[in-house]
């Protein structure tokens, strides 16, 4: 309960930064992308992840995430770029079906005006499966 309350307070602070400061919002976006987490929603991150961002932000530094050895998404989340704008999560899941990817493991990115960006994040079952997919599909 206390850890949950702390995480909620940290997430609330990140959301506040995003609302009132355009550069803060951009910094959070870069931090999330660099972490390959697949989500910019502060509530989907750990208290440690949020605290690391806030510590750097408070010092006026550009936050740089590091994936800790053994973190849940270490090497499992892959960013896809150059996708057809018409591609949906189901299309991507079908393309990666041989690696056990389902539609729920695909997060599409959109531009500010709601159009597809041609990018997506895919969460694989393991780092090895992700690396195999990259090797075999990246041509």
pLDDT digits (tens, 9 = 90+) for 6-43: 888 999 999 999 999 898 898 888 888 777 667 888 88
Task: Give the mean model confidence (pLDDT) for residues 129-138.
Answer: 90
Instruction: Report yes or no: 24 and 58 within 8 Å, Cβ to Cβ.
Output: no
pLDDT at 100 over 90: yes
pLDDT at position 65: 59
Percent of the chain surpassing pLDDT 90: 27
Give per-residue pLDDT as tens, 47-95: 888 888 888 888 887 776 554 444 555 567 888 889 999 999 999 999 9
β 116-123/106-110 pair status:
antiparallel
Average pLDDT, the chain: 83
Dist CA 56 CA 102 (whole Å)? 35
């Amino acid at each position: 309960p206390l850890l949950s309350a702390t995480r909620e307070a940290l997430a609330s602070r990140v959301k506040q930064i995003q609302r009132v400061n355009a550069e803060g919002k951009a910094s959070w976006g870069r931090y999330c992308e660099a972490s390959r987490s697949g989500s910019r929603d502060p509530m989907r991150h750990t208290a440690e992840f949020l605290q690391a961002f806030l510590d750097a932000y408070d010092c006026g530094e550009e936050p740089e995430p590091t994936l800790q050895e053994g973190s849940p998404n270490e090497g499992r989340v892959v960013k896809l770029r150059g996708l057809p704008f018409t591609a949906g999560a189901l299309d991507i899941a079908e393309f990666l079906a041989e690696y056990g990817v389902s539609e729920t493991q695909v997060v599409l990115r959109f531009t500010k005006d709601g159009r597809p960006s041609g990018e997506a994040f895919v969460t694989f079952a393991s780092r090895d499966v992700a690396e195999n997919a990259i090797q075999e599909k990246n041509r």
